[in-house]
Structure 1
Amino acid sequence: MQAVILAAGRGTRMGPLTETMPKPMLPVADAPLVEHVADAAVEAGADELVVTVGQGAERIRAHFGATYRGVPVQFAVQRSQRGTADALAAAADHIDDAFAVLNGDSLYRGADLARLFESTPQIGAFRVDDPSQYGVLTVDGDVVTGVQEKPANPATNLVNAGVYSFPAETVDLLDVPESERGERELTDVLERVMDRADLGYAILEEWMDVGRPWELLEANERRLPGDGDPQAQDGDTAEGVHPDATISGDVVIEDGATVGPGVVIEGPVLLRSGCSVGPNAYVRGATLIGEGARVGHAVEIKNSVLMADATVGHLSYVGDSVLGRSVNLGAGTNVANLRHDGGSVRATVKGDRVSTGRRKFGVVLGPGVKTGIQTGINAGVTLSAGARTEPGEMIRRDR
């Protein structure tokens, strides 16, 4: 079965992290998000990948090349962002057999997709505690009879996970009119599919939409430390690790990473090639230290993502945060990451303050942010790409 991966979105909800990087290429453990999608598809038995691309197309093309894990890869370009049905239509010329459709910014398991691939048409369903915020499936036995968008009284706890398997002739049904929000939606294509045949469903054990910065953090919590064999674990010493460092838990230290004396690392943690930690630093929780990133003397990093070439200067604290590429935190920069009233931290998405659903959440720093020494940043603050702070500033609002 062919697998079409929709990876052309701009990722505006993930801003400012996507100002210089396409969302599907944001890091989740040891691979970009879209690679995890491709892995699940290949493990489920896909014999060809068709990747729709838009913003950052060349970067995605270069990452995959002509084949991935022995499976041919083709690319289709979505010229403008006009919805999921339009993205699939962009790939129509490459489709010549039964096919699956996967979002390039979601986490799946290969075993789940294998069940979805067994027959067409099918939709991936996922059980949630509060289905009222999703597209909810109404079912009759093994057949889906409808999809209700955010109903007040959901008929089931099964929601649309945005992953499908279709017969080849479905490409003739993609020319649907624009929805109220001005997009051509795959959910409208589903109605046409159901008019022609019974739509089955496969229940997924894992599905996660990675659309906002705290969801990128959660995706890393799920996937860290990565698929590689640990090079330093439970006290073992790997090349580049000082003998006076203490390593425990599930920790992967890639070739070319260095760990200085007095460093304590408590997994799950992944140190990518070329990064450096310490001396006397403390890294804990589900933490990714990206390629070329630098963690200085007496720094504590807890449950965070540091993208490539980020630097956290000495005597600093970063917790439950996402730092974009080439961020540079001056010495003594401290991030707040906890609401003491028990409520959830709120953060900005496309201009609106929304709940992250997390009592502990720090900051989102866009690429190239630089802070002056002894800067304090409040929980839930977002700094846009290239933002600056003055020494000793307390940042309570987005900048």
Structure 2
Amino acid sequence: MIENALILAAGKGTRMWPLTENNPKPLLPIGGLSIIERQIYELKKVGVKNIFILIGYKMKDISDKLENGGKYGVNIDYITQEEQKGTGHAVAQAKNVIEERFYCINGDMIINAENLTKLNHDKNNLAMMVTEVEDCSNFGVVESQNDYLVSIIEKGAKGKGIINAGSYIFDKRIFSAIDNIKKSIRGEYELTDALQSISDKIKIVNHAGFWKDIGSPWDLITANEIYIKDISNNIQGIIEDNVTIKGDLHLGENSIIKSGTYIEGPVWIGENCTIGPNAYLRIGTVLCGDNKIGASSEIKNSILMKGAKAPHHNYVGDSIIGKNSNLGSGTKIANLRLDKNTINVVHQGKKIDSGRRKFGAIIGDNVNTGINSTINAGTILGSYVRIGPNASVSGTYESQSTII
């Protein structure tokens, strides 16, 4: 049994803008739990007792949330990576901290106990988990022979392929391998270079079941659709008379569902939320806490971060709304093209096919919209954006933009 694990959680997660503008990526929610909390619970299931978390960007947010691990039934220690010099450099920070074999997990990967157990099938080898994807153009392609690593090819291949799934088992041999690599053409110390240098010792293990790289903001919506199905009824708040609930519901402490509200689960409602009267929450809705969903507002398959509000006559579909953002009365977020094709977005200067036929908007923290404004499908808004009354918004807007 492996008792130690390293979670790589120091990066800025720039591809997840605007959600990571003010928040570390590992704390983004999926199905009511943060990515890193899901990792901790699954690691505990396979016997891990000591978890070392590599932190850097927004490090205090992570340590304040997870503390010493006691509430999860594990011991958590933190390793600080002052500068991000690549994935190899990240793993090397644990060189003088972890002595025995250990799991190593990318901080943005969804894992489960079944696959962690598979990864540790051969008790003497180092191991790397791989998975098959339909489009490998954004990933390094893994080549293997007789279940051992041969090479990892840089991004750019097209079509279906086998890729690195971001989960490993290492021992002290990985540190020696990292010590012997040079900087890549990107000027970083790459973990993949270290792996290739000892490829004959790296066992390849195939991932089973659903796998998703949380590489873009809309990937969070897709992952949430899968993992919210795992919730079960847990009612800690107040439900008034004349509320209809179908399916599973998690209702946090000090939250209230007011009369006339209709809920189709699975739905997750965190602490200190007010729902209704006469609100409609549909499958896949996650409210992270301190949220208000008011009269005649409808939320479908969306994540509202802590403090976000849709208080009056709003529609939010297949979207993410950042912390403390507020939708003015009558603001609607569209989530479907008229031609019903997949929705394109402009993200970090590139036009990208989201791959989703239903996709609303990604809205950063502290955004405010005026009454009767419309946010069209595929819109991305940075933090502190202001939208005027009756405005119709499409495209991508940097933080602190004003749209009238």
Q: Over aligned residue pairs, what C-alpha RMSD do you find?
A: 1.9
- After TM superposition, which residue ranges in structure 1, 4 or more long, deviate above 6 angstroms? none
Q: Which residue of 1 aligns with 2:402?
A: none
Gaps of 5+ in 1: 233-237
5 Å matches for 1:243-254?
243-254=241-252
Q: Which residue of 2 aligns with 1:184?
A: 189
Q: Which residue of 2 aligns with 1:352?
A: 350
One-letter amino acid of the counterpart of residue 217, structure 2? P
Q: Deviations over 1:13-48 (max 9, x none)?
A: 111111111111112223211111222222223232
Alpha-carbon contact 1:99-1:168 (below 8 Å) kept: no
Using a 3 Å threshold, how does the CA distance of structure 1 residues 153 and 296 change in structure 2: closer, same or farther?
A: closer
Alpha-carbon contact 1:226-1:252 (below 8 Å) kept: no
Q: Which residue of 1 aligns with 2:146?
A: 141
5 Å matches for 1:113-192?
113-118=116-121, 119=123, 120-150=125-155, 152=157, 157-175=161-179, 176-192=181-197
One-letter amino acid of the counterpart of residue 388, structure 1? R
Of 15, 18, 21, the residue aligned with 2:20 is 18
**TM-score under structure 2 length normalisation:** 0.91
Alpha-carbon contact 1:116-1:202 (below 8 Å) kept: yes
SS of residue matched to 2:198: helix
Residues of 2 paired with 1:21 and 1:152: CA distance? 32
Using a 3 Å threshold, how does the CA distance of structure 1 residues 241 and 87 change in structure 2: closer, same or farther?
A: same
Residues of 2 paired with 1:255 and 1:26: CA distance? 21
Deviation, 1:141, is 2.3
Residues of 2 paired with 1:141 and 1:19: CA distance? 43
Alpha-carbon contact 1:49-1:74 (below 8 Å) kept: yes
Residues of 1 paired with 2:81 and 2:131: CA distance? 28
Deviation, 1:239, is 4.7
Using a 3 Å threshold, how does the CA distance of structure 1 residues 48 and 86 change in structure 2: closer, same or farther?
A: same
Q: Which residue of 1 aligns with 2:265?
A: 267
SS of residue matched to 1:40: helix
Using a 3 Å threshold, how does the CA distance of structure 1 residues 278 and 225 change in structure 2: closer, same or farther?
A: farther
Q: Which residue of 1 aligns with 2:328?
A: 330
Residues of 1 paired with 2:157 and 2:395: CA distance? 34
Gaps of 5+ in 2: 398-404
One-letter amino acid of the counterpart of residue 314, structure 2? S
Deviation, 1:394, is 0.7
Q: Which residue of 2 aligns with 1:312?
A: 310
Q: Which residue of 2 aligns with 1:373?
A: 371
- Alignment size in residue pairs: 390
Q: Which residue of 2 aligns with 1:90?
A: 93
Deviation, 1:66, is 2.4
**TM-score under structure 1 length normalisation:** 0.93
Moved more, 179-188 or 372-381: 179-188
Deviation, 1:149, is 2.8
Residues of 2 paired with 1:346 and 1:307: CA distance? 24
Deviation, 1:152, is 4.0
Q: Percentage identity across aligned positions?
A: 35
SS of residue matched to 2:342: coil
Q: Which residue of 2 aligns with 1:55?
A: 57
Q: Deviations over 1:225-253 (max 9, x none)?
A: 665x4135xxxxx7511220100012211
Residues of 2 paired with 1:225 and 1:262: CA distance? 25
Deviation, 1:79, is 1.0
